[in-house]
Homo-oligomer: A and B are copies of this chain.
Amino acid sequence: MSRRKVTNSTVSGQPLSPAELRRVDAWWRAANYLSVGQIYLMDNPLLREALQPEHVKPRLLGHWGTTPGLNFMYAHLNRAITARDLDMMYVIGPGHGGPGVVASGWLEGTCSEVYPDIGRDLAGMRRLFQQFSFPGGIPSHVAPETPGSIHEGGELGYSLSHAYGAAFDNPGLVVAAVVGDGEAETGPLAASWHSNKFVDPRRDGAVLPILHLNGYKIANPTLLARIPTDELTSLMRGYGHAPYLVEGSDPEEMHQAFAATLDHCLDAIGDIQHEARTARRQPVARRPWPMIVLRSPKGWTGPAEVDGHQVEGSWRSHQVPFARAREDDSHRAVLEQWMRSYRPEELFTEDGAPVPEIADLHPAGERRMSANQHANGGLLLHDLQMPDFRDYAVEVETPGTGAVEATKVLGGFLRDVMAANMDRFRLFSPDENNSNRLQDVLEVTSRTWNAELLPDDDSLAVDGRVMEILSEHTCQGWLEGYLLTGRHGLFSCYEAFIHLVDSMFNQHAKWLKVSNDIVWRRPIASLNYLLTSHVWRQDHNGFSHQDPGFVDHVVNKKSDVIRVYFPPDANTLLSVADHCLRSRQYVNVIVAGKQPTLQYLTMDEAIVHCTKGIGIWDWAGTHPTEEPDVVLGCAGEVPTMEALAAVELLRGFFPDLAIRFVNVVDLMRLQDEREHPHGLSDNAFDSLFTKDKPVIFAYHGYPTLIHRLTYRRHNHQNLHVRGYKEEGTTTTPFDMTVLNQVDRFNLAIDVIDRVPSLQIVGAPVREILRDKLIEHRIYIRTHGEDLPEIQDWQWGMGAGPQAATPDPAQNAPEG
């Protein structure tokens, strides 16, 4: 505990009475003691005997470095909660500080409430220590298993966006968000500072960011700890904050300095909220929100030196400060000395419970941060008030007609979902809400905006509920925080760029999977993605905007938390969206079109089709009662249209060919029922796709996914899939399908190539179709447009194909 730094603090004052100071410090020492115990010990928790090798865990795992700082803040926040009766959550960016947060939960009794075998007694303390980062126990990071957390600490960068997500629409809530200085280097975190321009101080709660500079990452110093203080405070001012610095290492001075600063910041938050909530003239101008920079030594209060190397205040404190406490007597002596330096005999009773002085510090019941109900959002979840989605139905007199923008229709429905749920529903989008055709929502709310407004601005307001920032990461983080605290939402995004949040999706899906096995975690609303501006209609933006692979990424996650839908038209989209918005504990991916497209199903038909998730469209096939010669399968808006056009072409050429048409809305129906809850039985699959007939499948994304989902099916060897194969550029919509061979002509050729009875009679037709492809390419390269007959194509009109229909008999070769 050498090299103490001088305490330096923006706010001065000595607000703690001697008793308060003693109480806060006792809490801190207790939490630190319990943290070290979790990392090192499996027995002898209160050091009632000298530490023996067998008391030390054989495998030491955990992160000490950030932990004492987190415990320090926890103690001070508790004092403030009690003094001010605050409703406060603790979001911990440096999630590796798991032992600290677990220790505080144990001190507050929450741990014992949710895990009854970890009582607040000696046996419970022993279990607390042993279970930490131990097989069968809890992870070393903050995780779903940690009471009071909405934030998995393994992947860094999302603490602030999660904290803001929690604060939205919770006017009484204060979220203390600790930003680690490692995490602060990440892109998602750097972007999320600007979240303060999306807070309505009247309607929303407050976030109090605490940037914790402990100076080191795994092996390097942190950037923000190594720039001059004036640069750092400039940066925070630039982010829209009023920064308050607390730095030093002397516990007593730091307690006073941090308490004074925290009081000041909470007062400032109160001021901002009071002004906004009482001002006659609305909205009031945005004011900088307070934030704290806490600069404290890494591994604070840990051993100053081990084996001649500095440990406290160094990167060597990052994980386990010294590793051979089981094998090496001198290391074990350091450990024992270190733990005894917290004076456990003053902190715990004879039977291992926290002494009353500690128990007095923390608030009671749901005011405890470890028991705050917002952090177990399912407890607070209210269903959405849902309008009847059937009221938004598009009329479809003849399937395959019309020109409807499916997501525009969805926008009308979402507008009324929004209107009925102005306290619990938000839309999120990276500047694409209108581009994705959800603009009708702006009839009942605005885009959230608490920065400068100009007279010409359109639908921007401080209390808007459509959240748009050009950061997919921030959108995703906000939505996750909003859902995890018991609300509902939908993220609309260009399909290609949703890959930006692949890793965030991973973590959320993993959180849901683990939560499903934690009895005290209550189900939350699903995370709904609407992916539009999809690969087949990014022809104008070109190759960089074309990637349908998010679905492939999603299906790697546990089948009990992921769902994927490809509604081919507006009514099916409405039905799917209604279902998704009502669901719990899933990640729902909906891929839908925003361009004017043909419609196929009436609302009643759409409901039946979407409920089944997969089905034969009798009207679209030929000779529906017969055993088919070939099955045309499809999933996705554009592939469905092309598959229909292929049927029409084929019908013109081969009137006797029996084609079965199968459309897939719920992609996971393709999978085996043993692999996914939505999976079809083999019998059901065979009854759709047959056991032995050729199947041509037109798929929205990468073809391999369909093979992957069906490789165990009986008829898999006859399955031929077309889809996106990374051929794209700036061209016409139809040409995109041609480049990837998922167009009507290529699909029809695929059928001819695979149906035995067409081997001979089909040959001349094949040539006609190939000529048609060439004719089209010539046309677009000279006119810049698709052939008029393709632009005008509607099912049953036969404009394109019939014009091209020859008499096949005439062209058939002789033998």
Interface residues, chain A, with chain B CB atoms under 8 Å away: 42, 57-59, 61, 133-141, 143, 152-157, 182-183, 185-194, 197, 217-223, 226-228, 231-240, 310, 314-315, 431-435, 447, 449, 451-454, 456-458, 460, 468-474, 496-497, 499-500, 502-503, 506-507, 510, 513-514, 540-545, 547, 549, 552-553, 556-558, 702, 704, 707-708, 711, 716, 726, 729-732, 735, 780-781, 783-785
**A135-B780, A197-B223, A556-B552 given; A541·B140 CB < 8 A:** yes
**A499-B502, A553-B549, A784-B58 given; A460·B238 CB < 8 A:** no
Bound together, the chains give a CA A440 to CA B25 distance in angstroms of 43
**A182-B470, A544-B143 given; A726·B556 CB < 8 A:** yes
- Give the shortest distance, in Å, between A721 (CB) and chain B (any CB): 10
Bound together, the chains give a CA A187 to CA B217 distance in angstroms of 20
User: Do A470 and B156 touch across chains, with their CB atoms under 8 A apart?
Assistant: yes
**A431-B220, A499-B503 given; A61·B540 CB < 8 A:** yes
9 contacts between A and B (CB under 8 A): A61-B730, A185-B469, A186-B191, A220-B468, A227-B452, A235-B239, A237-B238, A497-B503, A499-B502
- Using CB atoms, name the residue of chain B closest to A157: B187
**A185-B469, A499-B503 given; A730·B227 CB < 8 A:** no
Most chain B CB inside 10 Å of its own CB: which residue of A220, A315, A457? A220
- Give the shortest distance, in Å, between A12 (CB) and chain B (any CB): 24
Please tell me which one of the listed residues B153, B433, B497 contacts residue A219 in the complex, with CB atoms under 8 A apart: B433
- A137 surroundings in chain B (CB, below 8 A): 730
- A432 surroundings in chain B (CB, below 8 A): 218-219
User: Do A502 and B708 touch across chains, with their CB atoms under 8 A apart?
Assistant: no
- A472 surroundings in chain B (CB, below 8 A): 186
User: Do B217 and A470 touch across chains, with their CB atoms under 8 A apart?
Assistant: yes
Bound together, the chains give a CA A398 to CA B396 distance in angstroms of 73
Most chain B CB inside 10 Å of its own CB: which residue of A457, A470, A707? A470
- Give the shortest distance, in Å, between A759 (CB) and chain B (any CB): 21
- A237 surroundings in chain B (CB, below 8 A): 231, 234-235, 238
- Using CB atoms, name the residue of chain B closest to A548: B556
**A451-B223, A708-B704 given; A186·B238 CB < 8 A:** no
User: Do A506 and B499 touch across chains, with their CB atoms under 8 A apart?
Assistant: yes
- Using CB atoms, name the residue of chain B closest to A498: B503
- Give the shortest distance, in Å, between A314 (CB) and chain B (any CB): 6
User: Do A702 and B235 touch across chains, with their CB atoms under 8 A apart?
Assistant: no
Bound together, the chains give a CA A231 to CA B241 distance in angstroms of 9
User: Do A187 and B473 touch across chains, with their CB atoms under 8 A apart?
Assistant: yes
- Using CB atoms, name the residue of chain B closest to A185: B470
9 nearest A-B residue pairs (beta carbon): A235-B238, A154-B544, A187-B187, A190-B190, A139-B542, A226-B451, A185-B470, A234-B238, A187-B191
- A153 surroundings in chain B (CB, below 8 A): 544
Bound together, the chains give a CA A549 to CA B503 distance in angstroms of 10
User: Do A57 and B784 touch across chains, with their CB atoms under 8 A apart?
Assistant: yes
Bound together, the chains give a CA A294 to CA B282 distance in angstroms of 32
- Give the shortest distance, in Å, between A156 (CB) and chain B (any CB): 7
Bound together, the chains give a CA A789 to CA B231 distance in angstroms of 56
User: Do B452 and A226 touch across chains, with their CB atoms under 8 A apart?
Assistant: yes
User: Do A431 and B217 touch across chains, with their CB atoms under 8 A apart?
Assistant: yes
- Give the shortest distance, in Å, between A252 (CB) and chain B (any CB): 25
- Give the shortest distance, in Å, between A444 (CB) and chain B (any CB): 17
**A139-B729, A197-B223, A451-B227 given; A510·B544 CB < 8 A:** yes
- A503 surroundings in chain B (CB, below 8 A): 496-497, 499-500, 502
Bound together, the chains give a CA A561 to CA B156 distance in angstroms of 30
User: Do B239 and A139 touch across chains, with their CB atoms under 8 A apart?
Assistant: no
User: Do A470 and B431 touch across chains, with their CB atoms under 8 A apart?
Assistant: no
User: Do B711 and A502 touch across chains, with their CB atoms under 8 A apart?
Assistant: no
- Give the shortest distance, in Å, between A206 (CB) and chain B (any CB): 19
- Using CB atoms, name the residue of chain B closest to A729: B139
Bound together, the chains give a CA A785 to CA B56 distance in angstroms of 13
Bound together, the chains give a CA A240 to CA B154 distance in angstroms of 29
- Using CB atoms, name the residue of chain B closest to A511: B544
Apart from A187-B471, A220-B449, A227-B240, what are 14 other A-B pairs with CB-CB below 8 Å?
A: A136-B731, A139-B541, A139-B542, A186-B191, A187-B190, A197-B223, A219-B434, A221-B457, A236-B238, A506-B547, A507-B544, A513-B726, A552-B553, A707-B711
- A785 surroundings in chain B (CB, below 8 A): 58-59
User: Do B549 and A556 touch across chains, with their CB atoms under 8 A apart?
Assistant: yes
User: Do A186 and B187 touch across chains, with their CB atoms under 8 A apart?
Assistant: yes
Bound together, the chains give a CA A716 to CA B710 distance in angstroms of 13
- A543 surroundings in chain B (CB, below 8 A): 139, 143, 154, 510, 514
Bound together, the chains give a CA A801 to CA B432 distance in angstroms of 59
User: Do B556 and A702 touch across chains, with their CB atoms under 8 A apart?
Assistant: yes
